[in-house]
Structures are given as structure tokens and as C-alpha cells.
Amino acid sequence: MPLSDHYGVYYEGFNADSAFEFYQAVRESLPVATFPHISQRASGLLQIADDIDVFVFDAYGVLNVGSTPIAGATDAVAALRDMGKKVFVLTNSATFPAHRNFEKFQKFGFDFAPKEIISSRMGAQQFIATLPPLRWGVMGMTDSAPQDFDLETRMLRDNPADYDWAEAFLLLSTWEWNVERQRLLDCAYEKQLKLMVVANPDVIAPLEAAFSTEPGFVGHRIAKRFDAEVVFHGKPFPSVFDMVMQRLGPQQPRSRIAMVGDTLHTDILGGAAQGWSTVLVSDHGLFRGRDTASPIAESQIVPTYIVPQI
């Protein structure tokens, strides 16, 4: 089945194998990076802390799974802080504004300050602020609060006129998306090509018992099917990594920054493309219960380190 007609996987839900295959199919649209020849194994981040000044954490699959914090993660972050390490969260969660992300991590028991949490939504906001005024159709939850973008918006629901009204589309979340709304979006592109900004480039996210399908799938599919202009913000794309570097300053050696994540094509590829070290967490995200050797060999995306959990 051509990628551009890849309906079934989206509506039925990804598993680890189909998500990996999808990422591989869109590899040409992802950043280019260089990698080490082989990964080092470690029991956790404390074992590699002497070589790293800054730890940048993915959220889903590293700090939490769905709405549940991973056991031991708060203690690990606190221990790194006690060692004088700088810590950040770099998340592709674009559903809610910044203050909601801060509140979420507080609820989980983490002590991240607002300035230490960078989201793909923030990267999309910075990009959209450089554009001329447009009418935006927004894929998101009812309480996704797109007003913080300061745009003329309509939420994409079941009214075909809203899809035609929009001059551009902003993708925040698929949680209230469905087959009919996908059909309406396709119909809008069949009539006219429009700019699409994807504020969450993930294809999947790990939940407690399954994987959710995320906006990155919709964006890649629209780009392939219609040859449309689709702009991605979030890992592995550079804008959010640039925001971390702005906070750290040019004096920080890139090789002593570690991107800590559970996904090869977002966290590891994105960090490596910036010249950072990378840490693949194997036990709670995309690779939970699975061997990492075959996907690493097939993709040739090789993390600097592999740990079971942080």
C-alpha cells in the first residue's frame, strides 16, 4: 500500500513494528545526522553522568507513560540535579499551552522550572509568528486553547465549511480526530493546496496499554499524498533544539549534552543531528519488551548510550 494511501494503520492504531516502518518510509524528510559505530550500555544515567553536563529528557516513555510517571524517574532527575547537572524537558506534546505542561510535571512529582520545559508547540508558535496573517484551521482537543497563538482560528470538527475557510492548518493533537474529519481534510486538499504546520511530529506516543497515533502521521501522509507544504516543529526537527541551545549559550559543548529518549527517529536522530550525545531508553516507550538491536541495525540510527530506564 503506498504511504500516501496509508489509511488503515492510522484508523486501526499503530504498533511498534508498523510505527518503525512508517518512520523508515518518511526518512528522506527527516534530518541527516552522523552516529557512533556502536552504542555503550549503561544501567542508568548516573553511570554516564561524568561525561555529560546537560540532560534533555523526552517525556513520554522516559519520564511518564500516558498519565503515569515512571517509577524512579523523579529520583533520577533529582540526583542529576544534586550532581550539578542541568536538566530540561524537550517534549513533542503540543496539545496544551506551556503552563499546562508545567502543571503536569508538577503533578507527576518533578521539579522542572517553566524555563526548563520546551515543547514542540512553542517551536510552532515561533514559526507562525513570522508569517503574514492567515485563517487557521486547528486540529486539537476542545480545550487545546489555540488562542495563545494569537491567530484567527476555527477548530476542525464536522463542518466542511471550516476546512474550506482555512487558509492554513495547525495540527496540535489527534485525540478528538476521526475518520470523517480526516476525509474532510483530504477533501480540502483536493480542492486547494494549503500550508500545514505540524506542532507534534510524532507518529505514535506510548500509553499505558497501547500506542496513540499522533499528528506527525497526518502531516507526513498529507505531504506525500498531495505534495503539499508541511512544516514540522518538534523532534527531530531543529527549531526546538535551537531553543535549548539559546538557553544554554554558545559556550556549552554540544557533545556534553545528552538527548534522552525512547524513539530512534525522533529523539536519537534529532539529538545526533545537533551534534549532541544521545541516550536510548529501552524499557518504557517504543521498545518496551522488545530488542533494540534489529531496529538500530536496520535504521542505522545508533545512540551513544542505551539504558533500560533513566
Residue by residue, DSSP assigns 220-236 as HHHHHHH---EEE-STT
- The confidence score (pLDDT) of residue 8 equals 44
pLDDT at 299 over 70: yes
Classify 86 as helix, strand or coil: strand
pLDDT score at 147: 81
Tell me the domain boundaries of the chain: 3-29+127-231, 40-122+236-307
Which pLDDT belongs to residue 209?
Answer: 67
**Could you say which DSSP state residue 31 is in?**
P
Closest CA relative to residue 176, chosen from 162, 160, 156: 156
Whether residue 207 is predicted with pLDDT greater than 90 in this model: the reply is no
Q: Is the pTM of this model over 0.85?
A: yes
Summarize pLDDT for 219-274 with one digit per residue, the tens.
999 999 999 999 999 999 999 999 999 999 999 999 999 999 999 999 999 999 99
Assess whether the region 3-29+127-231 and the region 40-122+236-307 belong to the same CATH fold: yes
- CATH number, span 40-122+236-307: 3.40.50.1000
Q: Roughly what angle, to the nearest 10 degrees, separates helices 238-248 and 120-128?
A: 100
Q: Once rounded to an integer, what is the mean pLDDT over residues 203-221?
A: 84
What dotted CATH number matches 3-29+127-231?
Answer: 3.40.50.1000
